[in-house]
């Protein structure tokens, strides 16, 4: 087995999945990736934006220079978000962008060069390669650029790599890594939600549907949360996501340090969804056709106009939106003023009664209050 085949075999064995966007060169890298069995486990999509108009359309702007870090980084970032949409839930993903100008059948002014960027959930790594003009054929330059693409993917997977065998002292190669934060992008509203897997992997996509989630501040995560999630999971026969909104209607937004502290509670235990959606009507938009787990105290607030600025119309509008989004509530009984209340104790408008299903006491009942639970953690 050749060193290149060994590298690509290792890439295909890695859980990372990618989208590859390229222009000018780098096509051989895609051929190599496909030439080794298992490429369908790695490559979600690949696009060759060869015409200038096609590249401008993909970028969304006309760059001052087409073979530049700006173009490679934009392609890689767009590829990352495309991979997030296409990959299975919670899969680690990367976006790879390559832009190059290499030898052709006409005279070119300037250097022959390539810029390659790999975007992951936490880093943006850019490689710059300049090749002496006339030292190689087009085929040889294409090969070197494609070798660098494979090496960039290998580095992003934290796999052992092989040196670029075709590199000479006359070539100039450099790279730099910028650390990025998807949580910061979420906080700024650039993305709608972020999934954090139990092993810390970060993923996102436009929507996530048909899930069951338990929303809360989780300060701290306690046995009541765990038992409630287990009871709901047994009812729907589906794993539960915990949702941590960075924005709360009644409390200050969570800063970076506090967000990380609360996320650490879920390491090795369960996936967490980070959102900027404090309201269930907003959650229903992000997560259509999904079930939301509630304690009765939260269900009471959901059904009282005083929590909608004393405007019943706002309450009915919110419930209607949740219903139209395919949302549904799983409601657990809760001790309120020394009395254990259940869904039967709520007054639900007739047109919205099917929105609510009770989690029976036989599956979950916890008479100690959340405040008391927090005090014993």
d(CA 375, CA 331): 24
> Under CATH, what is the fold of the domain 3-180?
Maf protein (3.90.950)
What pLDDT score was predicted for residue 181?
Answer: 83
Provide the percentage of residues in the chain whose pLDDT is more than 90: 73
Residue (of 359, 366, 368) closest to 231 by Cα position = 359
What pLDDT score was predicted for residue 302?
Answer: 95
What pLDDT score was predicted for residue 357?
Answer: 97
pLDDT tens readout for residues 190-231: 788 999 999 888 888 767 899 999 999 999 999 999 999 999
Task: For CATH 3.90.950.20, list the domain ranges present in the chain.
Answer: 3-180
Torsion angle (degrees, nearest 10) of CA 366, 370, 372, 377: 100
Q: Which one has a higher pLDDT value, 141 or 121? A: 141
Sheet arrangement for strand 356-359 = 202-203, 193-196, 272-275, 240-245, 212-215, 291-295, 328-332, 356-359
Q: Which one has a higher pLDDT value, 212 or 185? A: 212
Burial class (CB in 10 A: 0-12, 13-18, 19+), 158: exposed
**pLDDT surpassing 60 at residue 36:** yes
Q: Which one has a higher pLDDT value, 93 or 339? A: 93
Q: Which two tokens stand for residue 271?
A: 């996936």
What pLDDT score was predicted for residue 108?
Answer: 67
> How far is residue 88 CA from its own chain's centroid?
11
Neighbours of 32 (CB within 10 A): 20
Q: What is the pTM of this model?
A: 0.68
Q: Which strand (E) or helix (H) includes residue 242? A: strand 240-245
What pLDDT score was predicted for residue 121?
Answer: 85
Q: HSE, CB side, 13 Å, CA atoms: give it for residue 52.
A: 7
CATH code linked to domain 184-376: 3.40.50.620
135, 202, 296, 333 from 343: Cα distances, Å? 78, 36, 7, 7
Task: For CATH 3.40.50.620, list the domain ranges present in the chain.
Answer: 184-376
Q: HSE, CB side, 13 Å, CA atoms: give it for residue 279.
A: 13
């Amino acid at each position: 087995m050749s060193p290149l085949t060994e590298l690509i075999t290792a890439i295909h064995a890695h859980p990372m999945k990618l989208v590859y966007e390229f222009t000018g060169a780098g096509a051989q890298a895609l051929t190599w990736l496909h030439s080794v069995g298992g490429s369908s486990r790695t490559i979600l999509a690949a696009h060759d934006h060869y015409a200038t108009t096609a590249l401008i359309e993909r970028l969304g702007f006309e760059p001052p220079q087409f073979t530049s870090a700006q173009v490679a980084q934009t392609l890689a970032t767009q590829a990352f978000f495309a991979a997030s949409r296409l990959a299975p839930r919670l899969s680690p993903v990367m976006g790879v962008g390559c832009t190059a100008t290499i030898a052709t059948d006409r005279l070119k002014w300037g250097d022959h060069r390539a810029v390659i960027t790999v975007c992951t959930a936490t880093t943006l790594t850019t490689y710059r390669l300049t090749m002496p003009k006339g030292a190689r054929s087009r085929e040889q330059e294409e090969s070197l650029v494609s070798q660098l693409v494979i090496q960039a993917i290998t580095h992003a997977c934290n796999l052992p790599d092989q040196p670029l065998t075709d590199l000479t002292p006359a070539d100039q190669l450099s790279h730099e890594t910028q650390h990025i934060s998807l949580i910061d992008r979420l906080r700024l509203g650039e993305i709608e939600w972020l999934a954090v897997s139990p092993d810390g992997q970060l993923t996102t996509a436009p929507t996530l549907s048909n899930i069951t989630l338990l929303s809360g501040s989780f300060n701290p995560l306690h046995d009541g949360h765990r038992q409630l999630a287990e009871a709901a999971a047994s009812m729907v026969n589906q794993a539960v996501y915990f949702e941590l909104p960075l924005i709360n209607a009644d409390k200050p937004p969570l800063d970076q340090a506090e967000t990380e502290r609360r996320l650490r509670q879920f390491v090795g235990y369960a996936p967490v969804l980070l959102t900027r959606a404090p309201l269930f009507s907003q959650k229903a938009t992000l997560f259509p056709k999904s079930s939301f787990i509630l304690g009765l105290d939260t269900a009471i607030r959901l059904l009282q106009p005083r929590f909608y600025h004393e405007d019943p119309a706002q309450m009915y509008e919110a419930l209607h939106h949740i219903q139209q989004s395919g949302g549904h509530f799983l409601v657990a009984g809760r001790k309120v003023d020394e009395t254990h209340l259940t869904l039967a104790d709520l007054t639900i408008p007739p047109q919205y009664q099917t929105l609510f299903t009770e989690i029976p006491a036989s599956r979950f009942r916890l008479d100690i209050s959340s405040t008391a639970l927090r005090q014993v953690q």
